[in-house]
Amino acid sequence: MRIHWWPRSIRWQLLAGLLLLETLSIGLFALLLIGKQARDLRVRNMQRLAFEATSLSLQARESLLEQRPGWVGLSATMMADAPDVANAKVTDPAGNVLFVGAGSADDAELSPIERAQIPHISRSQSRVFSLGGRLLEAVSAIYTGGDLRGYVWVEADPNWGYEQLDVILRDAVIFGITWIAASVLLVLLIGRSISRPLAVLHRGTQALMTSPEGGNFPLPVAVHNEFGDLIEAFNRMVASIAEQRSGLNDTLSLLDSMLANAPIGLAFIDRSCRFVRVNQVFADMTGISLSRHLGRTLPELFPPPLAGDLENAVLRVFAGGTPVRNLELSGHGGKPSQPWTWLISAYPVRTIANQVRWAGVIVLDATERKRSEEALRKSEKLAVTGRLAAAIAHEINNPLEAITNLLFLLRSFGHLDEPALNYVTLAENEVRRITEITQQTLRFYRQPTKPAHTALPELLDPVFSVYQSRINALDLRVERDYGTELGLFCFAGEIRQVFANLVGNALDASSEGGRLLIRARRSRNWRNPAQEGIRFAFADTGIGMAPEVRERIFEAFFTTKEVTGTGLGLWVSHEILMKHHGLVHVRSRAAAPQPSDRRKSTGTVFEIFLPDDPNLGNGASPSAGGSVA
């Protein structure tokens, strides 16, 4: 039970304790002393009364022997006048009062207590008895010869002698007050010498708790005793804590920096499979904010397959205390939502020896690696297909020349009629078309090693020849707006590849009856007007692109064509434009989600600027710019 009235400070506790102890000690001493003095005083009073009663009985005996009974009354009066005697009486053996020292004998009589003492009175000594409280009385028998002549009764003054006890009590009180005052002064001086360094320690402790980094440390040492040693030890402790805190803060800063800036996902999970901490990379990979991770379990955040596999790995770490490495998990989600592959490793985090408190999870996004491997396989297939196509085109080219010559001979020397000549003409046109496709295929495969001045029809017309069948199948209206006199210094095969990618993407996005526009004009660089070149525009009325797609079209392996796409076409095209110091600007409008806005046209426009620079291949090219709108 807590004592609420007891002071809290050491100085006042010492003072209150000393006051209480000394008050009790002095009070007990005074009580014992006064009790002993009272007992001694009572014994002395009883002895004196017995002596006075014996003396009075002897005087009365002498008076009776000399036949002077009046002297008995005089002796009683003289005895009553004694300072310690309240009254004296003389009675006959029957207890009738004969003489009274103070007062009248006729009015005096023995009390029942006094009469009860008569049977117990002996001849040889006086009897002292109590009348109640401090009242004492002595009785002694009067004998003359062998005859009992009466009794003398001496009553003591109850206040006599007790004045001495009052003096002792007064002296004890004065001594106690003086002693307590001196002790209080001494305690105040000692308490001050104790409380001052303790107050310094208390303020230092409060400062250490409220503002560990601040505070007026080290504390001043004003005393040279145990408290001074305690303050010095406290200062050394504060310095050690500050040093440890500084090292801990440096360690935490390093860990926080590593956690925040590590290019991999990091998470810490407790034994209940709840997230304790994650970094931003992990949150970006999961598509869930940092705050939503904390305190939630794996099944609350992730779908069952992923949550179950990850939870099993974490529980294995807690159960065995050994790491789980290179666990490959696949799924679909994140921002933006797309397939992903994670490579996960879990390891134990121990706070004390042989006790795993958390499980650390390292998540490496292996999606790009998987895509790269898949794209590499597709690219290798495309390269093999390209080489095979070039070999086939080369082999087809010789028979085509023979067929062309045979058709020419048939027309010239066959003497055919008009309908047969028409069939020969159709055959020559188709063979000529096959020859042109073969030549374009060979041009795509055989890239020049140096840039050359190339006319625009040589760059654009072969592209349309390759895609003519798809254009006819979609019934697209193709508008070509470029002059035959325009030319450009470039790597012709690479530029044809760029144009082929743009036209192919436009055909993939277009629907039947759409429109495709290709325009080329002499122009200037929109970032550097002093630079001349040619601006190309490829515009279609296809389905367009959403903003989040437009932002990523030049990323490697990003594709919206599912299985048929590799995600390399526009990325390679952008690299080629960078090589040619070119610029690209993209505008696109996708179909609106609201029915009221669907009347607006959709489509995509690629604007490309290529400088006409004869010194294109003479040095390292600066990086090209690009913008997406």
Residue 620 pLDDT class (50, 70, 90 cuts): very low
Among residues 306, 341, 365, the one where a domain terminates is: 365
Helix/strand/coil percentages in the chain, nearest 5? 50, 20, 25
CATH number of residue 374's parent domain: 1.10.287
Residues above pLDDT 70, as percent of the chain? 89
With beta carbons less than 8 A apart as the criterion, state whether 557 and 567 touch: yes
Residues above pLDDT 90, as percent of the chain? 10
Sign of the CA dihedral 237, 242, 248, 252? Answer: positive
Structure tokens of 88? Answer: 């004296």
With beta carbons less than 8 A apart as the criterion, state whether 156 and 42 touch: no
- Residues 296, 383 within the same domain: no
- Cα–Cα distance for residue pair 274/302, rounded to 1 Å: 12
Q: Which amino acid is at 572?
A: V
With beta carbons less than 8 A apart as the criterion, state whether 510 and 544 touch: no
Give Dmax over CA atoms of the chain in angstroms: 216
| pLDDT one-digit tens code per residue, 591-614 | 776 655 555 788 999 999 999 888
CB atoms under 10 Å from CB of 304, counted, come to 8
- Cα–Cα distance for residue pair 102/89, rounded to 1 Å: 9
Worst-scoring range by mean pLDDT, 197-206, 226-235, 432-441? 432-441
- Cα–Cα distance for residue pair 313/2, rounded to 1 Å: 53
| pLDDT one-digit tens code per residue, 4-23 | 666 666 667 777 877 888 88
Give, for 537, the enclosing helix (H) or strand (E). strand 532-540
Worst-scoring range by mean pLDDT, 232-241, 301-310, 407-416, 493-502? 407-416
| pLDDT one-digit tens code per residue, 64-122 | 888 888 888 888 888 888 888 888 999 988 888 888 988 787 778 888 888 888 888 88
Q: Which residue has the higher pLDDT, 202 or 486?
A: 486
Position 382 scores a pLDDT of 64
Among residues 365, 380, 400, the one where a domain terminates is: 365
- Residues 513, 619 within the same domain: yes
- Cα–Cα distance for residue pair 237/466, rounded to 1 Å: 84
- Cα–Cα distance for residue pair 188/221, rounded to 1 Å: 21
- Cα–Cα distance for residue pair 591/599, rounded to 1 Å: 9
- Residues 356, 377 within the same domain: no
Give, for 626, the enclosing helix (H) or strand (E). strand 625-628
Sign of the CA dihedral 558, 562, 565, 566? Answer: positive
Position 5 scores a pLDDT of 64
- Residues 532, 517 within the same domain: yes
Smallest Cα–Cα separation from 161: which of 139, 136, 140?
136
CA dist list (Å): 500 to 306, 327, 497, 503:
41, 41, 5, 5
Structure tokens of 465? Answer: 């020849």
Smallest Cα–Cα separation from 221: which of 237, 245, 253, 197?
197
CA dist list (Å): 605 to 21, 456, 584, 622:
102, 19, 10, 25
- Cα–Cα distance for residue pair 586/626, rounded to 1 Å: 9
- Residues 439, 459 within the same domain: no
Question: Does residue 231 sit within a domain?
Answer: no
- Cα–Cα distance for residue pair 433/439, rounded to 1 Å: 10
Quick check: 491 pLDDT over 50? Answer: yes
Residue 135 pLDDT class (50, 70, 90 cuts): confident
**What is the pairing mode between strands 324-333 and 338-352?**
antiparallel
Question: Does residue 253 sit within a domain?
Answer: no
- Cα–Cα distance for residue pair 160/189, rounded to 1 Å: 46
- Residues 75, 150 within the same domain: yes
Position 262 scores a pLDDT of 80
| Angle at alpha carbon of residue 41, lines to 38 and 42, rounded to 5° | 85
- Cα–Cα distance for residue pair 269/363, rounded to 1 Å: 13
Read off φ and ψ for residue 543, nearest 5 degrees: -80, -10
Question: What value does the mean pLDDT of the chain take?
Answer: 81
- Cα–Cα distance for residue pair 88/217, rounded to 1 Å: 87
Smallest Cα–Cα separation from 47: which of 169, 172, 138, 183?
138
- Residues 20, 152 within the same domain: yes
- Cα–Cα distance for residue pair 466/470, rounded to 1 Å: 9
Question: Does residue 555 sit within a domain?
Answer: yes
Q: Which residue has the higher pLDDT, 62 or 558?
A: 62
Smallest Cα–Cα separation from 502: which of 438, 531, 532, 459?
459
Question: Does residue 180 sit within a domain?
Answer: no
- Residues 570, 501 within the same domain: yes
Residue 452 pLDDT class (50, 70, 90 cuts): confident
CATH number of residue 465's parent domain: 3.30.565.10
**What is the pairing mode between strands 135-144 and 97-100?**
unpaired
- Residues 408, 439 within the same domain: yes
Question: Does residue 247 sit within a domain?
Answer: no
Position 624 scores a pLDDT of 47
Quick check: 625 pLDDT over 60? Answer: no
With beta carbons less than 8 A apart as the criterion, state whether 538 and 506 touch: yes
CATH number of residue 293's parent domain: 3.30.450.20
Position 386 scores a pLDDT of 65
- Residues 473, 609 within the same domain: yes
Residues 6 or more apart whose CB falls under 8 angstroms from that of 184 comprise 15, 18, 19
Residue 621 pLDDT class (50, 70, 90 cuts): very low
- Residues 538, 605 within the same domain: yes
Residue 629 pLDDT class (50, 70, 90 cuts): very low
Smallest Cα–Cα separation from 157: which of 91, 109, 95, 86?
86
The pairs formed by 204-209 with CB atoms below 8 angstroms and a separation of 24 or more are 204/234, 204/238, 208/238, 208/241
Quick check: 574 pLDDT over 80? Answer: yes
Structure tokens of 302? Answer: 């992730």
Number of domains in the chain: 4
Counting DSSP H helices and E strands in the chain, the numbers are 16, 18
CA dist list (Å): 546 to 425, 584, 599:
49, 18, 17
Position 21 scores a pLDDT of 84
- Residues 138, 70 within the same domain: yes
- Cα–Cα distance for residue pair 41/60, rounded to 1 Å: 28
Question: Does residue 616 sit within a domain?
Answer: yes
Q: Which residue has the higher pLDDT, 23 or 627?
A: 23
Position 215 scores a pLDDT of 64
**What is the SS3 assignment for 158?**
coil
Q: Which amino acid is at 401?
A: E
Residue 214 pLDDT class (50, 70, 90 cuts): low
Residue 628 pLDDT class (50, 70, 90 cuts): very low
Read off φ and ψ for residue 229, nearest 5 degrees: -65, -35
Among residues 106, 133, 164, the one where a domain terminates is: 164
Structure tokens of 182? Answer: 């001196």
- Cα–Cα distance for residue pair 249/218, rounded to 1 Å: 21
Quick check: 548 pLDDT over 90? Answer: no
| pLDDT one-digit tens code per residue, 248-278 | 778 777 777 777 778 888 888 998 889 988 8
- Cα–Cα distance for residue pair 563/583, rounded to 1 Å: 30
Position 181 scores a pLDDT of 85
**What is the pairing mode between strands 338-352 and 487-490?**
unpaired
Residues 6 or more apart whose CB falls under 8 angstroms from that of 88 comprise 56, 76, 77, 79, 80, 100, 101, 102, 152, 153, 154, 155
DSSP-derived letter for residue 83 is T
Domain that holds residue 115: 10-164
Question: Does residue 226 sit within a domain?
Answer: no
Question: Does residue 109 sit within a domain?
Answer: yes
Structure tokens of 555? Answer: 């990323």
**Can you give the pTM of this predicted structure?**
0.42
- Cα–Cα distance for residue pair 307/358, rounded to 1 Å: 17
